[in-house]
Chains A and B, each alone.
Chain A
């Protein structure tokens, strides 16, 4: 097709601002297919970069370009000639070609990616169920039998279901397993047999995904061995960097800094950046969770001025609040409210409470933060005028991975859980008082510092 186009070059002109100001119909069609318009920025990235290069180098450039054209690719021979501020485009050899296909060798990688989408970790084992390929961030698992990595469900005879299936080289699933990391992570384990070239069993691929905690699952927590103390750090390092890159690139696409992008693509980029931020928050919270759930975790017991800490937290979140059109009302008290606790951890809790309050506040709403003292208890109150929390949900929000009413991808579902753990570890508590339609009022209590425990001091 397009034989007539191959005979006569297709012309176009791009001005100094990169706008397609003249275009023969086929070029205009290509521009529109890529989401651009006549007179708008050149929307075919390959052509736009070639035009920019020719303009910057101030030479005529001729080369082959393959661009997407609807469901097809189009193979072009493009000549770009600088002309005044802009460039002249002449396209010959216009030919529709089948879109390029991924190489067959990538299938395995793609399968792995798809699996990863449904699984949080992937292990590979040998026939003896010893790990031959651990997930990134768990190098210590290499060579370990899976019995040491997971608390597996047992059948009536006391054997694990997985071992039974492995003996006959079958797929297996265990939806009641626990990954022995930190205090233990409830997981589902699906095992897929790996078959070698001669048809024999080479091992298993284990797809491990998180599941909700077993409500009756008492008895695990304290018994778990600490599989790899560096796990949290490794996980954080392994995931933060790629996530940061994903977010930065998605933001760059969204900002259209590298040239015009179709509207639906910017929407995808926004989704990608949002999902990336959510995962990043989750990673950070998981790493923190692992730290605070260690049996030897002891926050510092310093003397901390809660009023000053509250003002600092409010200051740190001022910009975020302004972006959400929310005001933080953080009136300084007449005198300091001195509590015993770990300054860094108290600040963390207050930032979490304020972040939640900002997120749940209506536009033009207000978030209040106040400090007070009652006897030997010092308290910080964070209140918002959002939708509030029904009474039956008020304890649930302190559960792990509970993101009540949040469907916007924000929040990891761990913030309040971690905050309450921290408050209790410092000898205090965190509670909520709310009613639907009347906002929420979170109260962080801490013991008054010993030197200040007499009223009036």
Chain B
């Protein structure tokens, strides 16, 4: 978002304003990245590209749509009245006939920013966790064991719930996976209805099911799934719950953050920072994944993290991303130069509702806040 004028003014602005500009820039960078991912993913040739990142998101999307479609088809199939054609039941029960995905890929319905952001986060998190694990001597759940050993029943339950949710992060081949139940509530509802709409089209066009009957069948199936869904039983939700308990018990110290990061336990790492900073975990994740690498230092300073722990974390993430020595030193220097008050001011915008943040950026308030004009 920053133009040349902004760059020129950089040196003249007070530190707090400069860091706020960085925050806005990072936020805008993330939004852009999600937008680009959405656009590239649905490019005609995108499915054939060998790039691992895009391939993994594509795989996530296919698996996700396929799983939702399967669940809806089972429910619709079970609810079919006896007078409907037998061929319809056979088609709905067939294992290899994809109905929704080909229809949805032709529309804009899958380009929803929150959905793409969730998939992008899952893939980024997976890659980063693997690299952190590679740099760690003992890639084990040592921290989880220590939390279980605390003897606090609520914390133990929350740790187990998080570990179960963590197990949904991988498919049987160790590739990243995103279960429907891990989607945030908004994209979850929208995606369910989008798949249902695709099935409606199929029921009416291919099997001449009357419109009203198709609507009733599908609405019932979607409502069943929504009724069964627990918005808190997502990976991020479970991590937030554990972080809240640990925060309440005064256990969210720098050592816990460092240990979570070293073990590649990124869901807990992100939720723990979010808890200490009073920001939603999606916002913290965008700081962790900030391509400039500066926002992690800012949020760590804002929560008054000690230098050793903070710079070690900056080094771990930078190193896992392949940043070279000069970049790492620059990030550490950035942390050293930043006052806690300026950092707290810079992350203020992240404490606001995400919809408000996005609107601020869209309208251009971020730019004028950033360059002081």
- Asked if B135 contacts A57 (CB within 8 A), the reply is no
Q: Which of A56, A60, A63 contacts B135 (CB 8 A)?
A: A63
- Asked if B308 contacts A59 (CB within 8 A), the reply is yes
- Asked if B315 contacts A61 (CB within 8 A), the reply is yes
Q: Which of B134, B312, B329, B332 contacts A60 (CB 8 A)?
A: B312
Choose among A49, A53, A57, A63 the residue with the greatest number of B CB atoms under 10 Å from its CB. A57
**Min distance, Cβ A196 to any Cβ of chain B, angstroms:** 22
Would you give the 0/1 interface string for B274-307, flagging 1 where the beta carbon is closer than 8 Å to chain A?
0000000000000000000000000000000001
- Asked if B135 contacts A64 (CB within 8 A), the reply is yes
- Asked if A53 contacts B325 (CB within 8 A), the reply is yes
- Which residues of A sit under 8 angstroms from B325, Cβ to Cβ? 49, 52-53, 56
Enumerate B127-165 residues with CB–CB distance to A below 8 Å.
134-135, 137
- Which residues of B sit under 8 angstroms from A57, Cβ to Cβ? 311, 315, 328-329, 332
Residues of B within 8 A of A (CB-CB), count:
13
- Which residues of B sit under 8 angstroms from A49, Cβ to Cβ? 325
**Min distance, Cβ A87 to any Cβ of chain B, angstroms:** 14
If A49-B325, A53-B325, A53-B328 touch, whether A93 touches B137 (CB-CB below 8 Å) is yes
- Which residues of B sit under 8 angstroms from A58, Cβ to Cβ? 307, 311, 332
Would you give the 0/1 interface string for A29-59, flagging 1 where the beta carbon is closer than 8 Å to chain B?
0000000000000000000010011001111
* Closest chain A residue to B332, Cβ basis: A57
Would you give the 0/1 interface string for B324-361, flagging 1 where the beta carbon is closer than 8 Å to chain A?
01001100100000000000000000000000000000
- Which residues of A sit under 8 angstroms from B311, Cβ to Cβ? 57-59
**Min distance, Cβ B195 to any Cβ of chain A, angstroms:** 40
A77 touches B (CB below 8 Å)? yes
A160 touches B (CB below 8 Å)? no
**Min distance, Cβ B243 to any Cβ of chain A, angstroms:** 25
Q: In the bound complex, how far is the Cα of B307 from the Cα of A60, in angstroms? A: 12
- Which residues of A sit under 8 angstroms from B137, Cβ to Cβ? 62, 64, 77, 93
**Min distance, Cβ B144 to any Cβ of chain A, angstroms:** 21
Q: In the bound complex, how far is the Cα of B330 from the Cα of A56, in angstroms? A: 10
* Closest chain A residue to B310, Cβ basis: A59
Would you give the 0/1 interface string for B93-136, flagging 1 where the beta carbon is closer than 8 Å to chain A?
00000000000000000000000000000000000000000110
Q: In the bound complex, how far is the Cα of B336 from the Cα of A56, in angstroms? A: 12
- Which residues of A sit under 8 angstroms from B312, Cβ to Cβ? 59-61
**Min distance, Cβ B282 to any Cβ of chain A, angstroms:** 29
**Min distance, Cβ A58 to any Cβ of chain B, angstroms:** 7
Q: In the bound complex, how far is the Cα of B307 from the Cα of A421, in angstroms? A: 70
- Which residues of A sit under 8 angstroms from B329, Cβ to Cβ? 53, 56-57
Q: In the bound complex, how far is the Cα of B189 from the Cα of A142, in angstroms? A: 54
- Which residues of A sit under 8 angstroms from B319, Cβ to Cβ? 63
* Closest chain B residue to A58, Cβ basis: B311
Choose among B134, B137, B307, B328 the residue with the greatest number of A CB atoms under 10 Å from its CB. B137
If A52-B325, A53-B325 touch, whether A59 touches B315 (CB-CB below 8 Å) is yes
* Closest chain A residue to B315, Cβ basis: A57
Q: In the bound complex, how far is the Cα of B131 from the Cα of A64, in angstroms? A: 12
**Min distance, Cβ B130 to any Cβ of chain A, angstroms:** 14
- Which residues of B sit under 8 angstroms from A63, Cβ to Cβ? 135, 319
- Which residues of B sit under 8 angstroms from A52, Cβ to Cβ? 325
**Min distance, Cβ B316 to any Cβ of chain A, angstroms:** 9
**Min distance, Cβ B325 to any Cβ of chain A, angstroms:** 5
Q: In the bound complex, how far is the Cα of B312 from the Cα of A58, in angstroms? A: 9
**Min distance, Cβ B319 to any Cβ of chain A, angstroms:** 8
- Which residues of B sit under 8 angstroms from A60, Cβ to Cβ? 308, 312
Would you give the 0/1 interface string for B23-56, flagging 1 where the beta carbon is closer than 8 Å to chain A?
0000000000000000000000000000000000
- Which residues of A sit under 8 angstroms from B135, Cβ to Cβ? 63-64
* Closest chain A residue to B329, Cβ basis: A56
Q: In the bound complex, how far is the Cα of B328 from the Cα of A56, in angstroms? A: 9
- Ordered nearest first, which 5 A-B pairs have the shortest CB separation? A59-B311, A57-B332, A56-B329, A59-B312, A57-B311
Q: Could you show 14 A-B contacts with beta carbons less than 8 Å apart?
A: A52-B325, A53-B315, A56-B332, A57-B315, A57-B332, A58-B307, A59-B307, A59-B308, A59-B311, A59-B312, A59-B315, A62-B137, A64-B134, A77-B137
Q: Which A positions have Cβ atoms within 8 angstroms of B?
A: 49, 52-53, 56-64, 77, 93
Known: A53-B325, A56-B329, A57-B329. 19 other contacts (CB 8 A): A52-B325, A53-B315, A53-B329, A56-B325, A56-B332, A57-B311, A57-B315, A57-B328, A57-B332, A58-B307, A59-B308, A59-B312, A60-B308, A60-B312, A61-B315, A64-B134, A64-B135, A64-B137, A77-B137
